[in-house]
Amino acid sequence: MDYGQYYGFSRMPFGEGADREVFFKAETHKEAMALMLYGIRERKGYIVIFGEQGMGKSTLIRQAMDQLDERTQVALISQSHDQYYRLLKDLMEKLGLRAAKGAAQELTKGSMLHELYEYLTQCLNKDRNIVIILDDAHRMKDEIIEELRLLSNLETSRTKLIQIVIAGEPELSRRLNSKHLRQIRQRIQILHRLLPLGRDESLQYIEHRLAWAGRSSGDIFTPEALASICRYAGGVPRNINALCDRALALGAERSEKPVSAGTVGDARKAAAPLIRAASSSPATAGAAKSAFRSPWLYAALAVAAAGVFLGSYYLSPKSGIAPGSAVIQPAPSQKASEADEVARAQSTQGAQAPGLPAEKPEAQPLPPAAPAPASVAQEPTEANVPVNELTVKEGATLSSIATRYYGFVNATVLDCILESNPEIADVDLVRAGSQVLLPQAVGKARSVKLPDGSFGIHAATFMTYREARDYVGKIGSDLGRVEIVKRRVAPQKDWYRILVGPFGSREEARSALQSLERLTPR
């Protein structure tokens, strides 16, 4: 008798074949899903997702593909190519382009890129979006990763023509942090690391799988056995599957109901070849106190989980997102302490992506599409804006804090948070244990009081001058003077605010704000 019959399962709960059907979305998976969908829909260009083997990257990618509409064409490339030429040819074939069907000797990288550009331009004119997903990208050679920058040149003055999702193991993140891949890392718009599950989420994962098979964890495992599984698996779902599967098999052989901790220990020995240690799991993470710095190598973008809400609610952008102002902040670069496991149970990320160096990245100047305006003094927000205060947990970033508090994040949101917390001199650096003030109304245009006592409108904040310039062209000059103001958000890093005004009174500013909202409907 197999253990499925012995324990009364309607189906085998821990078989890998069922992963897509019974996929458990931990907080880190929800954020990754939201990031991918946001980056694709908003045409952000490069998106990088990395995590330990067995964290569910491939399943997550396929679930994200299921969420895309019919106007989005996806080319999934899971084969590891040894040449960029072969990867490009594979992409052309998956998109059904003519060049890929010609004789090999007639094809060059230049000819394929030319036809690809024409195809992408046609798709843009038809409001179609093209996505290439590179799974297991850590297997690609550095020269192939570096040459991916050629695809980033396929854009118009308005938008990216192709969105590229790159998924791989932590080795991928370490390699992207190397100097010789500087050109590709500067083009990355979104980065997210899949964190190992904490103890509570590991228990929820086991319960989820058992419920899908018609049972509950209390009937199958003793509390001590469950604790052992969580400890041995290190928060990696594939490890949990292997341990549970083997423990159930041994338990059935021993006529054991429920399965004991001793049987789990024996199962661990038997399943050892299948279990890969997670160096970033809460159980094994170092206890180092940390100040978390997000590498500038990712172009100062955020871990913007554009919605950490359950189901389709968190997957769709909320109405407060300022047009074109999203900025994704990368994950922190140091280990979290074991004490953060409690914080993880409250949906706060706290584990370290293995091997991600904590060294201060080389600052890269932002190349404006036109001469950047001179810096001006920041204007204070209006008085009496309600705020909430919270303590920064281990592993948190400003972006993850904003995502959990507001349900979305963009450059305008982060700008408002920085303005409420003038002691934060670096948008990429937030210290565990510090206090952060969160204003209630953020992420959309608002009236502000200027230093000279007049009033204006903070319309939006953008990461690049070109985005700001395009936005100014969109709203025109009917509302009055529109100014692009350089905003220092970190050492050697500027973003760009759009200010409209001045106006003589707050009422005039609010009237202009209503007109602006009509010009930029969400």
CATH code of the region 27-194: 3.40.50.300
Among the listed ranges 20-24, 74-78, 303-307, 432-436, which one has the minimum average pLDDT value?
Answer: 303-307
> 232 — alpha (psi -120 to 50), left (phi > 0) or beta?
alpha
For residue 453, give the nearest of 368, 346, 380, 345 by alpha carbon.
380
Query: CB neighbours (10 Å) of residue 72?
Result: 17
The predicted pLDDT at position 355 comes to: 33
Tokens 């590709």: give the residue.
Answer: 184
Would you list the domain boundaries of the chain? 27-194, 197-274
Which two structure tokens, joined as six digits, stand for 482?
Answer: 């529109």
Window from 270-274, 306-310, 449-453, 492-496 with minimum mean pLDDT: 306-310
Asked whether the beta carbons of 412 and 463 are under 8 A apart, the reply is: no
- Judged against a pLDDT cut of 50, whether residue 420 lies above it is answered with yes
Task: Mean pLDDT check: name the lowest of 292-296, 381-385, 389-393.
Answer: 292-296
pTM, whole model, 2 decimals? 0.57
Across residues 471-487, what is the average pLDDT? 85
* Mean pLDDT computed over 499-504: 88
Banded model confidence at residue 22, pLDDT cuts 50, 70, 90: confident
Sorting pLDDT into bands at 50, 70 and 90, what band is 309? very low
Task: Say what the pLDDT of residue 273 is.
Answer: 64
Does position 114 have pLDDT exceeding 80, yes or no?
A: yes
User: Do the domains spanning 27-194 and 197-274 agree at the CATH topology level?
Assistant: no
Helix, coil or strand: residue 110: helix
Strands (E), 385-471: 387-391, 429-431, 435-439, 446-449, 455-462
10 Å Cβ neighbour count for 375?
A: 11
CATH architecture of 197-274: Orthogonal Bundle (1.10)
How many percent of the chain have pLDDT more than 70? 74
Rounded Cα–Cα distance for residues 389 and 391 (Å)? 7
Instruction: Answer whether residue 249 shows pLDDT above 60.
Output: yes
Query: Which of 219-223, 368-372, 497-501 has the least mean pLDDT?
Result: 368-372
Percent of the chain with pLDDT over 90: 24
The Cβ of residue 203 has, within 10 Å, a number of other Cβ atoms equal to 20
List phi, psi (to 5°) of 238. -65, -35
pLDDT of residue 395: 60
Tokens of 42: 């908003």
Give the Cβ contact number of residue 151 at 10 Å.
26
